[in-house]
Amino acid sequence: MTADGKSLLVTGGSRGIGAAVSRLAARQGWRVAVNYVRDQDAAGRVVAEIEQAGGEAFAVQGDVGSEADVLSMFEAVDKRFGGLDGLVNNAGVVDVASRVDEMSLQRIERMLRINVTGSILCAREAVRRMSTRHGGNGGAIVNLSSAAATLGSPGLYVDYAAAKGAVDVFTLGLAKEVAAEGIRVNAVRPGIIDTEIHASGGEPDRVAQMRDMLPMKREGTADEVAEAVIWLLSDASSYTTGSVVSVTGGR
């Protein structure tokens, strides 16, 4: 699945699944733009790991929920790589456990702005660069969904589940829209994965609490999710588009 110097942007690439994708992509020959919002040091560490292993990467700051930031981010990729061959829409947020009747407008808007609008804005800019309709050479987009999209997450974060459900539908629609323009669009749907996102949602012990309820009796790793993402980016999945690959351990 060697990428032979193709260029890739990974949003939210400084930690968790995004960092795992960035590292694995670099090992497969991708030149990687590692996006971050606030933690420049974490992004720098991912870039340093890639460079020490002989790969090429750079860190680029930007909030995917801000159109101005998205435009600036893609301009930085243009300047550094001279084009784009792949996009991983990984940046996303969750929130503390809450019923819908307890959610604030601010929370709901933030959830949708980053998880849905951000993915659409980044895909828009990627299509403008990769589509043969716009003079591009084609490419691949992989969106990060969640098992929550199929489970609904009642009593926890229905808003997050709804946002990821929107990502699934967006993946299907965009895939059909650009299929004849050299772009494949797919998604990966992680289940319970051992990353920092659980702590950011106020449940640092969620993995341990869920472990015995999972069919495989263990959580997944960010590296296992990254393997699916990289496959969907690669030519090995050349006839796959509009698909959602579940990496959920059977959940």
| C-beta separation of 140 from 107 below 8 A | no
* 97, 153 contact by CB (below 8 A): no
CA distances from 212 to 126, 148, 192, 233 (A): 40, 18, 12, 32
Whether 160 sits among the annotated catalytic residues: the reply is yes
CB atoms within 10 A of CB 32: 30
In the numeric block, which tokens belong to residue 106? 């601010």
Give strand pairing partners of 188: 144, 245
36, 157, 160, 239: the active-site residue: 160
Q: Are 163 and 117 in contact (CB under 8 A)?
A: no
- The CA distances from residue 92 to 37, 155, 196, in Å, are 11, 20, 12
Which residues belong to the active site? 160
